[in-house]
């Protein structure tokens, strides 16, 4: 059972998502919060697996709430769901520890997929979010000279390209006909080679140095 806390300053939105999740046997909605104070209180009193968090909480900032959750409740995963499709908001939320970012125009099926993905400890960005990041990076001036040359195995290149397309570990494993554990090993090797801690940072470097387009 995935225990979810819904956080948005518009109650009609949390009620709508709650209605969707109530129809799924593997989800339990623990609560609905409209501000940061309610979130902090609920996290102290309830066991939560995933927080579905909006960036705009009226007088509060979801960016700060995300940072608080990650620092004070490290076992809880944060999935950002916002109307903001600006790369800076996406990057800030991920830097503050969110495990995923999707837009509010996302359909119910992808929302469920995103929640299940981050619950399992993986990062999730919808294809639209990944495209926004990639477009922003493509507009930046390419570095004049690589700081280092990286070598990849054929599988690592394939995994990197599929990650850039927004594929999850499970989807990559299915497409390449390899085990999930093998995909995780390749992802870990890529993180090590780029000397970064998350896939967002990896994708940025991979784009800057021309390893993906």
Mean pLDDT on 133-162: 72
Q: Three-state SS string across the chain, please?
A: CEEEEEECCCHHHHHHHHHHHHCCCCEEEEEEECCHHHHHHHHHHCCCCEEEECCEECCEEHHHHHHHHHHHCCCCEEEEEECCCCHHHHHHHHHCCCCEEEECCCCHHHHHHHHHHHHCCCCEECHHHHHHHHHHHHHCCCCCCCCCCCCCCHHHHHHHHHHHCCCCHHHHHHHHCCCHHHHHHHHHHHHHHHCCCCHHHHHHHHHHCCCCC
Is the CB of residue 140 less than 8 Å from the CB of residue 208? yes
Could you give the percent of the chain with pLDDT greater than 90?
61
Is 60 exceeded by the pLDDT of residue 146?
no
Tens digit of each residue's pLDDT (9 = 90 or more) over 37-55:
999 999 999 999 999 999 8
Is 60 exceeded by the pLDDT of residue 198?
yes
Straight-line distance from the first to the last Cα atom of the chain, in angstroms, rounded to the nearest whole number: 39
Tens digit of each residue's pLDDT (9 = 90 or more) over 22-32:
999 999 999 99
Q: What is the structure's pLDDT at 139?
A: 60
Is the CB of residue 103 less than 8 Å from the CB of residue 82? yes
Average model confidence (pLDDT) across the chain: 88
Mean pLDDT on 159-178: 93
Q: What is the structure's pLDDT at 147?
A: 36
Confidence of residue 14 (pLDDT cuts 50, 70, 90): very high
């Amino acid at each position: 059972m995935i225990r979810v806390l819904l956080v948005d300053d518009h109650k009609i939105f949390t009620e709508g998502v709650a209605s969707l999740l109530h129809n799924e046997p593997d989800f339990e909605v623990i609560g609905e919060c409209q501000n940061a104070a309610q979130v902090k209180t609920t996290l102290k009193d309830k066991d939560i697996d995933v927080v579905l968090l909006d960036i705009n909480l009226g007088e509060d900032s979801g960016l700060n709430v995300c940072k608080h959750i990650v620092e004070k409740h490290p076992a809880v995963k944060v999935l950002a769901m916002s109307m903001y499709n600006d790369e800076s908001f996406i990057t800030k939320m991920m830097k503050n520890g969110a495990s995923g970012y999707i837009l509010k125009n996302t359909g119910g099926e992808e929302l469920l997929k995103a929640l299940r993905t981050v619950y399992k400890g993986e990062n999730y960005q919808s294809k639209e979010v990944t495209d926004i990041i990639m477009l922003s990076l493509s507009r930046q001036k390419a570095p004049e000279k690589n700081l280092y040359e990286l070598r990849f195995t054929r599988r690592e290149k394939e995994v990197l390209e599929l990650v850039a397309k927004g594929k999850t570990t499970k989807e990559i494993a299915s497409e390449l006909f390899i085990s999930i554990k093998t995909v995780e090993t390749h992802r870990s090797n890529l993180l090590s080679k780029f000397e970064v801690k998350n896939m967002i940072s990896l994708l940025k470097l991979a784009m800057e140095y021309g390893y993906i387009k």
